[in-house]
Amino acid sequence: MRIEALDLIWIKMPLVGWFATSRGGIHERNILLVRAHAEGVTGWGEAGADWPPRYSYETVGTCWHIIEDFLAADTFAAELPEEGAAAALGRVLADWHWHPMARAAIEEAVWDLEARRRGMPLHRLYSEASETRGADGAAPRDRVEVGISLGIQPEFAVLEKQIDDALASGYRRIKLKIEDGHDVDLIRRVRDRFGDIPLMADANCGYEGRDVAPLLELDDMGLLMIEQPLGHDDLDGHAELQTRMKTPICLDEAASTVERTAEALHKEAGRIINIKCSRLGGRSNGIAVHDLCGRHDIPVWCGGMLESGVGRLHNIAIATLPGFSMANDLSASNRYWKEDIIEPAVELGHDGKVAVPSAPGIGYEVIEERVERHLVKRTTLTAP
* Residues 99 and 58 sit within 8 Å (Cβ to Cβ): yes
pTM of the prediction?
Answer: 0.95
**Helices 283-295 and 309-318 meet at what angle, rounded to 10?**
30
Q: Are 46 and 110 in contact (CB under 8 A)?
A: no
How distant, in Å, are the alpha carbons of 40, 194, 217, 383 from that of 36? 10, 46, 49, 11
Separation of alpha carbons 274 and 122, rounded Å: 21
Peptide bond just before 344 cis, omega within 30 deg: yes
Q: What is the pLDDT along the chain (384 residues), one digit of tens a residue?
A: 999 999 999 999 999 876 767 667 778 999 999 999 999 999 999 999 988 888 889 999 999 999 999 999 999 999 999 999 999 999 999 999 899 999 999 999 999 999 999 999 999 999 999 998 755 555 678 999 999 999 999 899 999 999 999 999 999 899 999 998 899 999 999 999 999 999 999 999 999 777 899 999 999 999 999 999 999 999 999 999 999 999 999 999 999 999 999 999 999 999 999 999 999 999 999 999 999 999 999 999 999 999 999 999 999 999 999 999 999 999 899 989 999 999 999 999 989 999 999 999 999 999 999 999 999 999 999 999
Residues annotated as catalytic (active site), given as ranges: 177, 276
